[in-house]
A and B are shown apart, each in its own frame.
Chain A
Amino acid sequence: MKIHEYQAKKLFGKYRIPVPRGSVAAYSDEAVRIAQELSGFPVVVKAQIHAGGRGRGGGIRLAASSDEVRFVADEMIGMNLITRQTGSAGRLVRKVLVEEGLTIVREFYLSILVDRASAGIMVMASSAGGVNIEETAARTPENIIKVFINPLGGLQPYHCRQAGFGLGLDGSALKQFMTLLASLYRLFVDYDCSLVEINPLVMTADGRLMAVDAKVDVDGNALFRQKEIGTFFDENEVDPLEVEAEKYQLKYINLGGTIGNLVNGAGLAMATMDIIKTSGALPANFLDVGGGASAEMVEHGLRIILSDTHVKGILINIFGGILRCDVLAEGVVRAAGKTGINVPVVIRMEGTNVKQGRRILTESGLNFMTATDLRDAAEKVALIAGN
């Protein structure tokens, strides 16, 4: 789960990781008041959305006076910010973070993440801060320092020294870095993070190491024990259909194509999306109803797919193991009755109680196309897509 920069900085504050002074505002009046309470101008106004690349998109700006703060905040709040991570639709800005301006002499990159290959935790640092880390990785991979940590032993001072000396730090800067990294690691573990990233981490002209940006991603599987993070959830940042789907334990992602699909299991769902593409169409969504879906879940899944007006047809692909085919068929028929499915539907099912399931579909009198196997399903999808 993603959280906003201002929320991440609240967590940083708790762990005494230095961040610029400032606060978040939803109105320009508020932004001006915050700016006036800081130690002078210029101040920085930062759009709060869950996407990177804000600077280049015009979402991070300097303001040299109260009037400028008002002007910038008015322009930013309510704007549709487009960055390399938002796609062409952009993201509506609802809040801005107003912070003190700093005189910066050096910029670094620092992150902690889960490394699946070593089943450990990895610290990644680079002296090329402020730059997109993917660019550094592609251009000058030797400039990236990686330190691997066994989660059982945890972060040790030598890990911090490896990263700190690697960045070319010494004296007071090295000391500050070691304290900061140790705190960041504690935050990472305490909050079940999958990623914490500071880009840039800066050295100010008066010799202070400070996190100018803050990104914290939390493992969704751990939210049951991370109540505080749960309160940070901002449903404006998520596709409303995804939020709706989550209420019924469905995993839905809108993909912008025209052929909707409903599948049990993530792997089979991805493979089904691929089949739609091979058939000459584009998948409208990813929808995994899970292993043990009920008739009700199937019904809600279909309703969510149909609420996307781009959908021209639907492919249902179920391999019934735990989810029985008769249960699936009942859900489809019920959904058809309630929502009035007005696009062609291809149904391919296999596994437990497949005969009963097919009978329910036939006897419903509804106009479904049944497919005998995946190849047959692909051909029928191609037919719908051609219409």
Chain B
Amino acid sequence: MSIFVNKNSRLLVQGITGHEGSFHARQCINYGTNVVAGVTPGKGGQFMDDVPVFNTVQDGVAETGADCSLIFVPPVFAADAILEAADSGIGVIVAITEGIPIMDMLKVRNSLAGKKCRLIGPNCPGIITPGQFKAGIMPGQIHKPGSIGVISRSGTLTFEVVNQLSLRNIGQSTCLGIGGDPVVGTDFIDCLAAFEEDSETKGIVMVGEIGGSAEEEAAAFVRDSMTKPVVGFVAGLTAPPGRRMGHAGAIVSGGSGTAESKIEVMKECGLHVCEDLGRLGEFCEEVF
């Protein structure tokens, strides 16, 4: 089992003929992902290797039954691409694109509210259910099938964590990056709730970073609604104040954006907090 995606998922890649889109689509195929369609407006009827390319997501879904989409289109067109996927009946939308204007994301988030689809990202490495399905840019070979869920706001930091787990024979049920932007489609709590429901997942590693209050809210959720053990890590203890958090934004979170305060709240809520990234694998071995 897994969360959000599995071996039966059918992937459509938006921006499949671009430089990044084609490279990563091939990587996903090599990993064993069922890539059924690609979309590039104006290139409908062509093929990327053996994958049929369509002009619109709607056409791609109608012809191939795709239910998951992976987005590589540039920031200028990304909001449009996400909304197109949502309106075409795609269930899980994974947006890799970095640099989407926040005003666009505010509109996307509010447009998706109440719709039956899940947006993961943007500005994220994607999602992988090891051994079954990969929709993202993570190096597949470092993952190992197993029973630990991994959630993170970062890309390469997630790879670091997963690598340490795999080296210690701790396999993963599903690993996903929720994205480093201020406004993202799926938050920690959505993932924690899904992992709690997933019978194959025995524990979760949650990797946070400074800014906002998503970690604090997730920690409260763990305290109130979860039975499975959760390991927490927060990056950015040495980050200078004010450089990433906006002046007035700091008030909204009431001083809760720092790594210290996040770690403190996690501990209070009963998470197993690891403060040394170099020992995270070892730490997880003890907890799980």
Interfacial chain B residues near A120, Cβ < 8 Å: 106, 110
Q: How far is the CA of A138 from the CA of B76 in the complex (A)?
A: 39
Is A266's CB within 8 Å of the partner chain B?
yes
Is A267's CB within 8 Å of the partner chain B?
yes
In contact, B183 and A271 (Cβ under 8 angstroms): no
Q: How far is the CA of A292 from the CA of B279 in the complex (A)?
A: 27
Interface residues of B in 210-251 (CB under 8 A from A): 210, 212-213, 235-240, 242-243, 246-251
In contact, B103 and A151 (Cβ under 8 angstroms): yes
B209 to chain A, nearest CB (A): 5
Interface residues of B in 55-112 (CB under 8 A from A): 75-76, 99-103, 105-107, 109-111
In contact, A268 and B248 (Cβ under 8 angstroms): no
In contact, B277 and A217 (Cβ under 8 angstroms): no
Is B157's CB within 8 Å of the partner chain A?
yes
In contact, A265 and B157 (Cβ under 8 angstroms): yes
In contact, B247 and A197 (Cβ under 8 angstroms): yes
In contact, A116 and B249 (Cβ under 8 angstroms): yes
Interfacial chain B residues near A268, Cβ < 8 Å: 154-157, 160, 235
Name the segment of B9-17, B135-143, B198-206 touching the other chain: B135-143
In contact, B138 and A321 (Cβ under 8 angstroms): yes
| Partner pick for A119 among B106, B142, B155, CB 8 A cutoff | B106
Q: How far is the CA of A194 from the CA of B210 in the complex (A)?
A: 18
Residue among A52, A119, A265, A286 with the highest chain B CB neighbour number at 10 A? A119
Q: How far is the CA of A121 from the CA of B248 in the complex (A)?
A: 13
In the complex, the chain A residue whose C-beta lies closest to that of B208 is A267
Interfacial chain A residues near B157, Cβ < 8 Å: 265, 267-268, 270-271
Residue among B139, B183, B247 with the highest chain A CB neighbour number at 10 A? B247
| Partner pick for B183 among A119, A225, A276, A291, CB 8 A cutoff | A119
Q: How far is the CA of A42 from the CA of B39 in the complex (A)?
A: 65
Also in contact, A273 and B252, with CB within 8 A (given A194-B102, A265-B154) = no
In contact, A133 and B251 (Cβ under 8 angstroms): yes
In contact, A114 and B75 (Cβ under 8 angstroms): no
Interfacial chain A residues near B20, Cβ < 8 Å: 292
In the complex, the chain B residue whose C-beta lies closest to that of A253 is B243
In contact, A319 and B156 (Cβ under 8 angstroms): yes
Residue among B103, B213, B237 with the highest chain A CB neighbour number at 10 A? B103
Interfacial chain B residues near A217, Cβ < 8 Å: 246-247
The size class of the interface chain A forms with chain B is 35 or more
Also in contact, A221 and B239, with CB within 8 A (given A115-B252, A117-B212, A117-B252) = no
Is A152's CB within 8 Å of the partner chain B?
yes
In the complex, the chain B residue whose C-beta lies closest to that of A350 is B163
Q: How far is the CA of A352 from the CA of B137 in the complex (A)?
A: 13
Q: How far is the CA of A197 from the CA of B239 in the complex (A)?
A: 25
A77 to chain B, nearest CB (A): 26
Interfacial chain B residues near A144, Cβ < 8 Å: 251
Interface residues of A in 196-239 (CB under 8 A from B): 197, 215, 217, 219, 221-222, 224-225
Is B207's CB within 8 Å of the partner chain A?
yes
Interface residues of A in 110-129 (CB under 8 A from B): 111, 113-117, 119-122, 124
In contact, A121 and B237 (Cβ under 8 angstroms): no
Where chain A touches its partner, the secondary structure class is mixed
In contact, B278 and A373 (Cβ under 8 angstroms): yes
Number of chain B residues close to chain A: CB under 8 A: 59
In contact, B106 and A114 (Cβ under 8 angstroms): yes
In the complex, the chain B residue whose C-beta lies closest to that of A122 is B252
Interfacial chain B residues near A321, Cβ < 8 Å: 125, 137-139, 155-156, 159
Interface string of A366-387 (1 = CB under 8 A from B): 0000000111011000000000
In contact, A197 and B248 (Cβ under 8 angstroms): yes
In contact, B276 and A151 (Cβ under 8 angstroms): no
Also in contact, A374 and B99, with CB within 8 A (given A267-B154, A270-B236) = no
Interfacial chain B residues near A241, Cβ < 8 Å: none
Residue among A192, A221, A350 with the highest chain B CB neighbour number at 10 A? A221
Interfacial chain B residues near A114, Cβ < 8 Å: 102, 106, 182-183, 249
In the complex, the chain B residue whose C-beta lies closest to that of A279 is B278
Also in contact, A291 and B252, with CB within 8 A (given A151-B110, A274-B236, A350-B163) = no
Is A79's CB within 8 Å of the partner chain B?
no
Q: How far is the CA of A243 from the CA of B138 in the complex (A)?
A: 30
Residue among B75, B157, B212 with the highest chain A CB neighbour number at 10 A? B157
In contact, B278 and A374 (Cβ under 8 angstroms): yes
Interface string of B140-164 (1 = CB under 8 A from A): 0010000000001111111110010
Q: How far is the CA of A195 from the CA of B209 in the complex (A)?
A: 22
B258 to chain A, nearest CB (A): 12
| Partner pick for A255 among B156, B160, B238, B253, CB 8 A cutoff | B238
Is B180's CB within 8 Å of the partner chain A?
yes
Is B254's CB within 8 Å of the partner chain A?
yes
Q: How far is the CA of A263 from the CA of B107 in the complex (A)?
A: 33
In contact, A117 and B107 (Cβ under 8 angstroms): no
In contact, B209 and A111 (Cβ under 8 angstroms): no
In the complex, the chain B residue whose C-beta lies closest to that of A291 is B155
Q: How far is the CA of A373 from the CA of B235 in the complex (A)?
A: 18
In the complex, the chain B residue whose C-beta lies closest to that of A194 is B246
Q: How far is the CA of A291 from the CA of B27 in the complex (A)?
A: 15
Is A48's CB within 8 Å of the partner chain B?
no
In contact, B248 and A276 (Cβ under 8 angstroms): no
B115 to chain A, nearest CB (A): 13
In the complex, the chain B residue whose C-beta lies closest to that of A137 is B251
Is A189's CB within 8 Å of the partner chain B?
yes
Is A275's CB within 8 Å of the partner chain B?
yes
Contacts beyond the supplied A274-B238, A351-B142: 13 A-B pairs with Cβ under 8 Å: A52-B247, A116-B212, A121-B106, A137-B251, A152-B111, A217-B246, A221-B99, A253-B243, A270-B235, A270-B236, A274-B277, A321-B159, A322-B137
9 of the cross-chain contacts (CB-CB < 8 Å) are A114-B102, A134-B251, A137-B254, A221-B100, A266-B209, A267-B153, A271-B236, A274-B277, A278-B276
The 8 closest A-B CB pairs, nearest first, are A267-B154, A265-B156, A267-B157, A222-B101, A374-B278, A375-B278, A271-B235, A270-B235
